[in-house]
Amino acid sequence: MKNNTKTRFTSAFEEDVYSGLTSYPKHLSSKYFYDKKGDKLFQDIMNLPEYYLTNCEYNILANNTQEIADAFTGANGFDLIELGAGDGKKTKLLLRYLTDKKIDFDYLPVDISQNALDELEGSLKKELPSISVKPQQGTYFKTLERLSDYNSRKKVILVLGSNIGNLLHKDAIDFLKQIQEAMSPDDMLFMGFDQKKNPQTVLDAYNDPTGVTEAFNKNVLERINSELNGDFDLESFFHWETYNPESGTAKSFLISKEKQTVTINDLALTVNFEAWESIHTEISQKYDNMIVEWLASQADLKVTDSFADEKHFYKNYIFRKK
């Protein structure tokens, strides 16, 4: 029986693992892929030829740097707040341009991974030492509660990598509403959305032949083993990807190859798996203009501009308050 006593858990990780593995169907959040090893695996994924998202967005930012930077700039400077900053590879294109033009701005990178923030801050000190960097560790939702405190000048909220794609539409609308509520009239949101395309292209992006994506997904099991004293046998699970071209939803699963029992000692939890039973780990939503404009309208935002790569695989949109 599931224990709902809140004092049982000492961290959100413990609570979410317990809840996810005692649910039916089983699920674990993709945000727990990320620790030092997970960060490195995701950087490896971004360099895979099949994972088109990074190169597409990088090219958009490289080919439209001046126009995007001009949209960001405010009369009294601005605060650039990036949700899910990661290694900052793409953002540095904009940061370098803004620095070269001596534009007044502060950069506030936000990430759930303290390791990623430490590495980003270290690299910026070497590459762009004049930038004012104020890292913020935490989830998007916790950070959004603090965003409205930045109201003395224009805010530009940056969300790259189609991170919104990890949310179902209902949750994406809630996320956009929280951003909208934290925005002042002059503020703007610059967000990346992966577009609908050939379904095979999507499947290949999340199921590479070298197995890096599989290792990334399995890292959540490794974290349970190391941080919660679990005994998952990683070799008895495999990664499986699906894509529904109608809804635009790609889903990742870890599938149990056999009937087995897993013990997580720190949670006093025994988890039984049937052969071929799944753990749902991630969604990666794909979009078109109509869906993006609908999401925006539901959150009292409006699309004022967009930038696409040559193949129209990916788009970055500018949103403002209605």
pLDDT tens, 184-208? 999 999 999 999 999 999 999 999 9
Specify whether the CB–CB gap between 255 and 278 falls below 8 A. yes
Specify whether the CB–CB gap between 271 and 235 falls below 8 A. no
**Which letter, b or e, does each residue of 114-149 get, where b requires 16 or more Cβ atoms within 10 Å of its Cβ?**
ebbbebbbeebeeebeebebebbbeebeebbeebee
Can you tell me the mean pLDDT for 218-224? 98
Note if the pTM is more than 0.75: yes
Specify whether the CB–CB gap between 260 and 271 falls below 8 A. no
Distance CA 15, CA 96 (A): 41
Distance CA 222, CA 241 (A): 20
Specify whether the CB–CB gap between 264 and 17 falls below 8 A. yes
Q: Is 172 helix (H, G, I), strand (E, B) or coil?
A: helix
Residue 288, pLDDT above cutoff 80: yes
Q: Which residue has the higher pLDDT, 4 or 309?
A: 309
Can you tell me the mean pLDDT for 108-129? 92
Give the residue from 195, 232, 226 showing the smallest Cα distance to 316. 195
Given pLDDT bands bounded at 50, 70 and 90, which one contains residue 235?
A: very high
Distance CA 217, CA 155 (A): 34
Residue 297, pLDDT above cutoff 50: yes
Residue 258: count of CB within 10 angstroms of its CB: 12
Specify whether the CB–CB gap between 49 and 227 falls below 8 A. no
Residue 170, pLDDT above cutoff 80: yes
- pLDDT for 112: 83
Give the residue from 300, 264, 255 showing the smallest Cα distance to 22. 264
* Bridge pairing between strands 188-194 and 314-321: antiparallel
Decide: residue 66, CB within 10 A, 0-12 exposed, 13-18 middle, 19+ buried. Answer: exposed
Given pLDDT bands bounded at 50, 70 and 90, which one contains residue 149?
A: confident
Give the ranges where 192-311 is alpha helix by DSSP (H).
199-205, 212-228, 289-298
Tell me which of 3.40.50.150, 3.40.50.800, 3.50.40.10, 3.90.1150.10 is the CATH number of domain 64-195+287-321. 3.40.50.150
- pLDDT for 27: 98
**H or E segment at 100?**
helix 91-100
Which amino acid appears at position 39 of this protein? D
Handedness of CA 3, 8, 12, 13 (dihedral sign): negative
Given pLDDT bands bounded at 50, 70 and 90, which one contains residue 77?
A: very high
**H or E segment at 188?**
strand 188-194
Residue 1, pLDDT above cutoff 50: no
